[in-house]
Structure 1
Amino acid sequence: MFSSVCRRCFSVLRSAHPPIRRSVAVTLYNVDEFSPTKALILHLPSQPDSANGVRQLPEFLYDWPVASINYRWAPERSRAASQDDEHLDVSVDWPVPMHDVAFAYQWIVDALKPPGIGRGNIYVYGSHLGAGLAMSLALTEAHPHKRFAVRGVAAYNGVYNWTMFLPGQKEVRGSKSAKDGRRENGNLRIKDLHDRLVTLFQEPHNLFDPFASPSLFFHNPGLAIPESFYRSPAFDSLVSAMKGQYDVSGEGGMLGASRRSHLAFPPRASTLKIPETLLLHDAPSSRSLLHHRPDEHGNEVQAKKQSTRQSRPRATDTRHTFRAQAAEIASFMRRSVEMVELKERFRWDPEAKDELEKEPERRVRVVEVGQEGEDLGLNDAGQQAVLDWLGSLKIR
């Protein structure tokens, strides 16, 4: 199954008072086969697992050189703390997981870079909690000019915009039935993540960190930062007004309430490039009245289900599905390829326009893999989709 399995750890220094030395586990598979002509897969599991990293590795990665990062996050607070002799009182909520991934990535680049002047490719795969981390890492480390860096990312059932869970979004504003629908429809795992928001992030402002919500690299949220995970900023302002507490600054006591608009990403002065991307997701629940189905370009098309007056289900927030999360970030990434990268190229090579017309859809692909299963693993169809995608990149 594996030609080699070994575990490496490295120390990181967190910014804390007092400073705390920590280590992040990186499990390496088949590294003896790694060479400049073969890609390294960076694996970010669906959730932390301090017990057995081998069990987490998806079957379709068995024949690849893999570095699996066992990042820490809130679900594993007690186990992570109990296995660390240096300090037992440690917080592993956001942004600890992103810090772990960033430090581990730098260690991997330094330890496994091809010898001499050889070039190597890193492709990132993450699922569920690991999918958002994988996307953030890929978007900020895809430097084509570097000898050994991220070239692509595959992500399964990721949340790429955590602010969608907050009240005040247009789709759910002022509608109790929509709020209930968000929690009872969509995907079962989405509901589970919504219930764990406080555990995962502690404070609402953490949801607005682009490294937590990578969609926010491409647009501002158009939503004020609330004081609570479950109350809208408008409600907080109303309560303050009823108590006679007014904000003399005239800003309503809220940050980031500007109108939603696009941002330039990658920054024009950077060497970043939108990586080769495969977004996999489960189908949403069939109980919803409205579905947003992606068309052939991955754009969402709204379709209504027929129902009788007696059996009509209540309205639901259809944005709270893994399909919607994938469709949103795909649209932003494709827009970036078209408006930033290709627009600049067409200025000096007009004849390439016809040839590259479908480049945004080719670069960023969206695949629905079927109904949600009982576990967090990718089904056979999804695993084959990743292998086909890797094969299309001709990296082996």
Structure 2
Amino acid sequence: MRRWSRLWLPCRLPRVQRRCFHSEQTLEDSVEVPIGSSGSITVDLHNVVRQSSSAPLMIYIPPHSPLPGTHPSVPGFLHPYPTAVINYRWSAPDSTPPDASGEPSFTTPLQWPTPIHDILAGYTWITENLRPDSTARRDLYVYSSHAGASIAASLALTESHHHERVAVRGLVAWNGIYNWSMFLPDHRINKPATPRGRKLPSRPKEGSALYALQMEMTDLFRKPADLFDSFVSPSLFFQTSGMLPPSTFTQAAVVTEMLDRMSSLTSGGSVSDLLAATGSAFTAPRRSALMFPPRKSTLKLPASLLLHDSPPLQTTKRGKRRAAGHTFEAQASELASLMRKSLEKLEFKSRLQWDEDFDAETEAERRVKLVDVGDNEYLQLGERGQKVITRWLEDRFES
């Protein structure tokens, strides 16, 4: 399978100057990590020195790209644990005017896929420098939310090698985006529920966190095709998108193709030519299942806790209430369902052959938990969600 390439990284990350400072909760240690010729990022360490080198380590990926020189605060429910924060870069191109001298200047593009390289560089530094002594193991757990959860989930899914002493064993994510193509008009979640239906599902509500992420897409990605990269849309590790990448973030692919066909006609084209160009059927590719993890890989799907806010509800003609269109629940439910199916078909398959009492469905739901944590304020996870995470982490750290 394709793994995040390490070829561009130096063989050994050089030792760098560290600056220590105190906060109310923890002693922090900020380490600068070079990214080849593309600048550098920082990894902030909390409570790491005071803990055993074999104690489970939390990796916190902020929900959005931190401002240069800032140190994001760590969520309160992570304070008891040693935590490494990877301060990645992911933002719109620099809009500042060129240098007055007219000389061309190079700046690292911070749109996708720059965040992949930053996160991997930080992760590589962590696994090389925070390893336990001798042959001891160290379990890593990743937490993030919103846009950051896209990369956190991909990191957890592709760095969970069960044979390695230091590797990802668990993922916790809240209100994550696991399939960015859901924002596109062609995605089935944005179409009527039935072939004869006319009413389109509601779009993300203006002012909501999901709406904000939709508005930021053009800043975070260079082109719509980037949304189909499985390292930013980890649900696509398990299945194809069933869509063709459109030419814009807001235009359906069928409209794009129709306009392309019309523009290809010569000025002397007949009416029949025009009808033939616009009336031919547009066929989208079928959605197909993919095998993940690959059979010959050493990957093992990590224990996962996927939390989401309660979705807005709509009332149908019959008075029933149902979730409306694209929501954080839809994002989490899709990934949870795909991971559970993978467990049942791949990892649990051999056990089912000799253990008649093994309940694969129940075990898959235990391994990949999906939890509605009610309503929360934008990037602030409420007490209910924090308690769920605390209990989940305690169960694993104390076992």
Separation in 1, partners of 2:380, 2:93: 19
Within a 5 Å distance, the mapping from 1:119-158 to structure 2 comes to 119-158=137-176
Following the alignment from structure 1 to structure 2, what is the Cα–Cα distance between the partners of residues 385 and 75? 34
Structure 1 position 324 matched with structure 2 position 330 = yes
Structure 2 CA distance, aligned partners of 1:166 and 1:129? 16
In the alignment, is the contact (CA less than 8 A) between 2:91 and 2:111 conserved in 1?
A: yes
Letter of the 2:286 partner, please give it: R
2:95, 2:147 → 1: CA distance? Answer: 18
**1:79-98 equivalence runs, <5 A:** 89-98=107-116
Q: Equivalent residue of 2:141, what SS?
A: strand
Identify the residue that residue 48 of structure 1 maps to in structure 2.
Answer: 65
Q: In structure 1, how many angstroms separate the alpha carbons of the residues matched to 2:391 and 2:95?
A: 39
The reply to whether residue 270 of structure 1 matches residue 297 of structure 2 is yes
Match of 1:214 among 211, 226, 234: 234
- Are the counterparts in 1 of residues 160 and 301 from structure 2 also a CA contact under 8 Å? yes
The letter for the 1-side match of 2:41 is V
- SS across alignment from 1:32: coil
Q: What residue identity is the alignment partner of 1:218?
A: F
Contact 1:46 1:131 in 2 (8 A): yes
Q: Are 2:210 and 1:195 aligned?
A: no
Structure 1 position 350 matched with structure 2 position 355: yes
TM-score, normalising length: structure 1: 0.81
In structure 2, do the counterparts of structure 1 residues 207 and 245 end up closer, same or farther at CA, with 3 Å as the change threshold? farther
Quote the residue 1:32 is aligned against. 49
Q: Hey, what's the Cα distance between the residues in 2 that align with 1:53 and 1:124?
A: 21
Equivalent-residue separation in structure 1 for 2:381 and 2:145 (angstroms)? 8
In structure 1, the partner of 2:372 is 368
Match of 2:78 in 1: 61
Aligned to 1:231: 251
**CA distance 1:171–1:125, change in 2 (3 Å):** closer
Trace 1:153-172 onto structure 2 (pairs within 5 A).
Answer: 153-172=171-190
Q: What is the alpha-carbon distance in structure 1 between the residues aligned to residue 89 and residue 180 of structure 2?
A: 19
Q: Does the C-alpha gap of structure 1 residues 383 and 235 become closer, same or farther in structure 2, counting only changes over 3 Å? A: same
Distance 1:35 1:77 in 2: 42
Conservation of the 8 A alpha-carbon contact between 1:58 and 1:377: no
Q: Secondary structure at the match of 2:341?
A: helix
Match of 2:341 in 1: 335
Match of 1:252 in 2: none
Q: Which of residues 367, 381, 391 in structure 2 aligns to 1:378?
A: 381
Unaligned runs of 5+ residues in structure 2 are 1-23, 97-104, 267-282
**Counterpart residue number, 1:389:** 392
- Tell me which residue corresponds to 2:205: 184
Deviation string for 1:333-364 (max 9, x for gaps)?
000111110012323x234524x551100000
Q: Distance in 1 between matches of 2:189 and 2:218?
A: 22
- Is the Cα–Cα contact under 8 Å of residues 376 and 382 in structure 2 kept in the other structure? no
CA distance in 2, matches of 1:59, 1:234: 47
Match in the other structure for 1:105? 123
Q: Is the 8 A contact 1:120 1:148 kept in 2?
A: yes
What SS does the corresponding residue of 1:393 show, helix, strand or coil? helix
1:200-250 deviation per Cα after TM superposition (whole angstroms, max 9, x unaligned): 11200000000010000000000011111111111111112222369xxxx
Cα distance between partner residues in 2 of 1:77 and 1:266: 38
Aligned 1:240-259 pairs, distance under 5 A: 240-244=260-264, 257-259=284-286
Match of 2:3 in 1: none
Bigger CA radius of gyration = 2
Residue 278 of structure 2 corresponds to none
Letter in 2 for 1:350: D
2-structure distance, mates of 1:67, 1:166 = 34
CA positional deviation for 1:50: 2.7
Structure 1 residue runs of 5 or longer lacking an equivalent are 14-19, 80-86, 247-255, 291-301, 307-316
CA distance 1:322–1:52, change in 2 (3 Å): farther
Partners of 2:298 and 2:211 in 1: CA distance:
38
Residue 379 of structure 1 aligns with an amino acid whose one-letter code is G
